[in-house]
């Protein structure tokens, strides 16, 4: 037989006390779930943004990155004239900011975007679709590395991306790497194209890239197609 010590009354769980404890418990669980959901959402958004930057060759911690949303900034970029924006729209500035964020030492957004304003007859070229912007990054990085190595005074891009219409107008190959935004025709000021091609092949042999190298009289073709090719 259970006995209660003298002067002590048994603690009885009243209905009011039970309901109060239940309410506190429910609030605690609800608060925990809300905080957890907010934290998960924030982590997920940060992860998505970081993934977008990495897929484009941009470090997560890049101090210059303006990628706080799915699209790049339309802030003015040095060397990009307003006439270009008026002619082809605000994606010119987005692409310029994308190139600027790569942190290249020898290549400016103007250098990259200029060839996209070329025309042949009545056919004008265009900048690549956004989904293809990242595809030119490995090629630009190898050109930038070569320019530093060769101490080039200036870089001139003859051709980079070509739209289907413009490629037909200049009689480019139907499988041209320019259509995939992976190729450039480039001149390094003061350096013979044959020497540029030779250095490109050395860099390729050293494992800096995998792709094509074409030696032309007035320029050098370099692309990052994923397998080696020479002409």
Q: What is the pLDDT of residue 173?
A: 96
Give 119's strand partners.
124
The model carries a pTM of 0.71
Q: What is the mean pLDDT of the chain?
A: 82
The pLDDT assigned to 72 comes to 86
Each residue's pLDDT tens digit, 148-183 = 999 999 999 999 999 999 999 999 999 999 999 999
Q: Structural domain boundaries of the chain? A: 82-230
pLDDT confidence bin for 5, thresholds 50/70/90: very low
pLDDT at 25: 52
Contact 116, 184 (CB under 8 A): no
pLDDT digit string, tens, across residues 29-80: 444 444 455 444 443 444 444 444 444 454 443 434 444 335 789 999 999 9
Q: Are 71 and 94 in contact (CB under 8 A)?
A: yes
Query: Tell me, which fold does domain 82-230 have in CATH?
Result: Muramoyl-pentapeptide Carboxypeptidase; domain 2 (3.30.1380)
Cα-only R_g, the chain: 30
């Amino acid at each position: 037989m259970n006995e209660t010590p003298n002067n002590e009354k048994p603690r009885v769980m009243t209905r009011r006390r039970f309901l109060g404890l239940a309410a506190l418990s429910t609030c605690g669980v609800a608060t925990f779930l809300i905080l957890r959901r907010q934290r998960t959402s924030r982590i997920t958004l940060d992860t998505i943004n970081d993934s977008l930057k990495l897929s484009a060759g941009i470090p997560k911690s890049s101090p210059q990155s303006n990628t706080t949303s799915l699209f790049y900034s339309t802030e003015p970029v040095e060397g990009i004239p307003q006439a270009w924006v008026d002619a082809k729209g605000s994606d010119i500035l987005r692409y310029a900011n994308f190139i600027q964020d790569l942190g290249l030492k020898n290549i400016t957004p103007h250098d990259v975007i200029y060839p996209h304003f070329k025309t042949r007859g009545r056919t004008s070229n265009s900048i690549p679709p956004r989904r293809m912007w990242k595809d030119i990054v490995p090629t630009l990085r190898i050109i930038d590395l070569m320019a530093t190595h060769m101490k080039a005074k200036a870089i001139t891009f003859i051709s980079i991306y070509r739209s289907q219409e413009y490629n037909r107008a200049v009689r480019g190959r139907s499988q041209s790497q320019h259509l995939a935004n992976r190729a450039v025709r480039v001149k390094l000021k003061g350096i013979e194209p044959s020497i540029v091609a030779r250095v490109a092949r050395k860099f390729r042999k050293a494992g800096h890239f995998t792709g094509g190298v074409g030696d032309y009289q007035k320029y050098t073709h370099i692309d990052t197609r994923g397998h080696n090719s020479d002409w």
